[in-house]
A = this chain, B = another copy of it.
């Protein structure tokens, strides 16, 4: 080629090697264009969400790259699920050190591709750049809801039931277990129970199966990413009402219940810790039966944990009806 112009820069080879194999959807245009092209299904609104993850802040620098990729995609899918949406696709931006090992990139891209396929959320494009800092990535995910069916965070009204999916606190306990494995309550857990908590921290399970039930029955919903109590307080405040939950109704896994049984202080961790990626929903009482049935048909357990009210604020009550002192309610970056 005359003139020395190169059509294949190192960056292009990097993208071709690691990401083109996992971005096979036609909308991705082979990752060869400036942009991706998406035709939303007729009769739908588009739901857009984005989350950023920084090594040392949102994950451990030595976490397996496959786990980092899964978490990055799944936390966004969890947001789509909470809004009643199904995924259409995602874009990735990835900032990595120049000397990132090829094996890291390969494992990251493979896991992202596998999850994109498993969740029906094709990787449509992105941007890969170098950074002198920690690995930093963000995923923007696009979903669709039937027109007008978006489930807002602001739709709660006084006198509605408060429900939550799955079990709460596993991820926060998993994180604490990683930070303090010698803690008595953890040391007494079986290997299986320890593994369960660690896995829940690393690998969120987005509740996409719950989306149709939320659309049909919920007045408000959000996913629990920064802790059940703090996130519920946010949803109630955004809706202009308050509420009350009973701590003993909040569902715990066998592993979390055992840990809390050994060390009652861990209940606060479970209620206020982050990374659950379960769904909180406010549901009119007349719709609760339908919601629970629809959730069960979708294979997602949901539990009634409290009720909304007119008076602002959130009370968290113990089994005897007394307010629990929880300290700080949710994780915040600033």
Are A3 and B330 in touch, CB under 8 angstroms? no
Contacting pair B37 A47 (CB below 8 A): yes
Query: If A39-B45, A313-B1 touch, does A52 touch B129 (CB 8 Å cutoff)?
Result: yes
Which of A32, A53, A98 has the most C-beta atoms of chain B within 10 angstroms of its own C-beta? Answer: A32
Q: Write the nearest CB–CB distance from A11 to chain B, whole angstroms.
A: 4
Assess whether B5 is in contact with A326, with CB atoms less than 8 Å apart: yes
Q: Tell me the smallest distance from the CB of A23 to a CB of chain B, in Å.
A: 13
> Out of B34, B129, B238, B324, which one reaches A83, CB within 8 Å?
B34
* Bound CA span A292–B180, Å: 67
What CA separation (Å) do A83 and B245 show in the bound complex? 51
Whether the Cβ atoms of B329 and A33 lie closer than 8 Å is no
Give the number of residues in A that approach B within 8 Å (Cβ atoms). 99
Instruction: Please name all residues of chain B whose beta carbon is closer than 8 Å to the beta carbon of A234 when the two chains form the complex.
Output: 7, 9, 12
Q: Is the CB of B138 within 8 A of A14?
A: no
Bound complex: CA A298 to CA B92 (Å): 33
Q: Is A226 an interface position by the 8 A CB rule?
A: yes
Instruction: Using CB atoms, name the residue of chain B closest to A327.
Output: B4
Which residues on the B side are within 8 Å of A317 (C-beta)? 3
Given contacts A57-B130, A136-B133, A138-B93, contact A34 B6 (CB under 8 A): no
A8 CB contacts on chain B under 8 angstroms: 237
A92 to B4, CA, bound (A): 37
Say whether A29 faces chain B, with CB atoms less than 8 Å apart: yes
Q: Does A132 contact B (CB under 8 A)?
A: yes
- Asked whether A125 is an interface residue with its Cβ less than 8 Å from the other chain, the reply is yes
Contact partner of A91 among B9, B35, B140, B232, CB < 8 A?
A: B140
The chain B residue with its CB closest to the CB of A82 is B34
A38 on the B face (CB < 8 A): yes
A219 to chain B, nearest CB (A): 14
Contact with B along A222-263 (1 / 0, CB 8 A): 110010011011101110000000000000000000000000
> Nearest 3 CB-CB pairs, A to B?
A133-B133, A9-B332, A7-B237
A and B contact pairs by CB, cutoff 8 A, 13 listed: A4-B325, A4-B328, A5-B314, A8-B237, A9-B331, A10-B333, A10-B334, A34-B222, A36-B49, A39-B147, A49-B91, A54-B136, A133-B136
Given A3-B323, A7-B234, A53-B129, 18 further pairs, Cβ under 8 A: A1-B314, A3-B229, A3-B316, A6-B328, A6-B329, A7-B230, A11-B333, A12-B332, A29-B152, A34-B49, A34-B82, A35-B47, A36-B49, A38-B46, A39-B45, A50-B125, A52-B138, A93-B138
